[in-house]
Structure 1
Amino acid sequence: MLLLINVLLTLWFYTAYGQGKPCDYPVIKHGWLYYSYRGYFPAHVNQQFVYSCDRYFVPPSQRSWDHLTCTAQGWSPEEPCLRQCIFNYLENGYNPHREEKYLQGETVKVRCYEGYSLQNDQNTMTCTESGWSPPPRCIRVKTCSKSEIRIENGFLSESTFTYPLNKQTEYKCKPGYVTADGKTSGLITCLQNGWSAQPVCINSQGKCGPPPPVDNGDITSLLQSVYPPGYTAEYQCQLYYELRGNRNVVCRNGEWSEPPKCLEACVISEETMKKHHIQLRWKHDTKLYYKTEDTIEFTCQYGYRPLTAKDTFQTTCQEGKVIYPLCG
């Protein structure tokens, strides 16, 4: 022990004077000088000091101790103590044949068991100042099963039974059948909530194209380019329009049944009533949206009188149009 101390002190006292800017007292992150008498600083260029690192950290040489050298550019090594990460075990994965050591900033590729992955679906770990990132632990990932899919008149073209997250696979339709977009095959993807879509193989005869558009209306059903016979699509009208007819249409013999219509409703705004000097007869009636054939009752606003014999006026909404009373 005394011999080791003498050696270390001898190394610390070793000095080779040179030219250049002197070095101030070093601050070693995750390490320390063996002898730190501040009277020896600032140090001369080429002057060396023995240092060591904290637990889990080593000099770049990976020795138990090393020299810190004053250079014209400053202390060398610039980062005296680096994290040393040990890789000897991978939870739910394949372990290395022997213990491996990596320095801060180095990366290692790992293999998880099937159905497992490192955090964030990674397959590499990096040695950082705080340790491995991500940790050497494989976690179970979302998978999709072949049994979760039933393709009527079709089949998955691969023999694999389990598919990992984001895996894309092909399905094919039997002869005489096509996918929703009219092709003989399609692709589906394993997503976090299961398969991206339930594949459909429809008879190539009797299918329909997209449902007909309706003015001021929208189709609420899944939009696609080809629909199988018997498929039902649904419509809804936009705001301030009312639906007349059957909201559902059905594909039969390659044709859609009669679509509904979206008729304009009557909208009674505050601005309109102010313009005509009128108000709704019943104060509790705050409804400003009326359908065709709805009855609306008005009176004149305070300070105005009807220009006809009636004190109140009753009118009917007719396809978006209202006949307003006269007040003056």
Structure 2
Amino acid sequence: MEFKSCFFFLVMVCSGKLFAEDTPCDLPHIENGNFALYYYTFKSHYFPMHKGKKLSYSCMIGYTTEAGSQDGRITCTAKGWSPVPQCYRKCNKPLLENGSFYSTEMYFKIHEKLEYKCNPGYHTPNGGTEDTVQCQTQGWSSQPSCTKRLESCQVPELPHGSYSRALREVQLNSALRYSCAEGYRTAAGNTSETALCLAHGWALTPSCTRITCSSLNEVAHGGFHPVKKIYEEGDVVHFFCDKHYSVTGFDLIQCYDFGWYPDPPVCEDVKKKCPLPPLPHGHVNTVRRTYHNGDKVHVQCHGPLGIRGSEEIQCEGGKWTSPSICTGTMNKQEYEAPPPEADAEIRASQARHNEDMKMQQDCAAPPVIKNGGVLGPVLASYKNGSSVEYGCQHYHFLDGPSTVYCDHGNWTEQPACL
């Protein structure tokens, strides 16, 4: 029985191997070409073909195989037909003024190259006297051309820029320096550069282009203002979030010559801030107005009371994990033993938190500083937690934090421009 099983397994393996090596090939599709008509008429008789069988095809007029011939031949292999039958369009000899081709042929096959030269006083697009083009699937790699060799370059008008010299033309192989106004960049992306006059014209034609920043993507659970198709250098964008979401990062960004700064923020779930932990006969080691998701505090009980639960609790999703309880008994004297200022601070903190939850105070316009100011437009009021960025005028530098925050109706410390 064991011998029969092994024999059956070997037969299956060998049969599978033989079958894999003899994978049939069906009638292939060939664009701009065809096979003999009888292959289509009696397809079920000839196909599928087995490994080793050969098949001839012809390309339509104006097309050739990759080898450049009108007819091709393919072979059925374990992986299919090889090579894959393809017909490529021939390239007609292009027109050329003020120059001539080295070849007298009128049609060229795929990948074939064609050399040409320009007449005296003319040059190719790269400034030389000779060049080569190649026949590709979409046509010639480039259009052969010969243009008259320039003796000088005409100086173009330069909106938003100025030249170092007042010239109407620049002689061949000579240069002219120019610079662009603030907010604009040269053809190479600089504030100023030197333009060189070559035989075929300017190496880079002098121009001054407005600096722009990339468009901004939509903000999930929020938005921004103003919305433009194109943002220019100096533009400031203000981000805002829907209810129950808050801006992570800076809510104001500006377009600079190097792009947006700081990076555009996103709107994230507020995760519901936690109030001060309710802990009769106890207190926490760190008293704050509000606690954020992930904040941890250590719990301590008054006097001889013991703690039931964890000594450390964490704010998660607006609730404290495993609230602790102070258990045991203590007399009035023991209860009053903790410093009264601690309880007063806790009560004050609870009152402040309740007040904050009812209304978060907005801030008025940020303070004005000498020799500087806020980058971008100044709003009439700012939501609690918003921020603005300060910048200084030319020849002054910033001393202090560049970013100022609205903290419950008051702005944090402003910088100075020295």
Q: Please give the TM-score of this superposition, normalised by the length of structure 1.
A: 0.38
Q: Point out which structure has higher relative CO (alpha carbons under 8 A, 6+ apart).
A: 1
User: Under a length normalisation based on structure 2, what TM-score does the superposition of the two structures give?
Assistant: 0.32
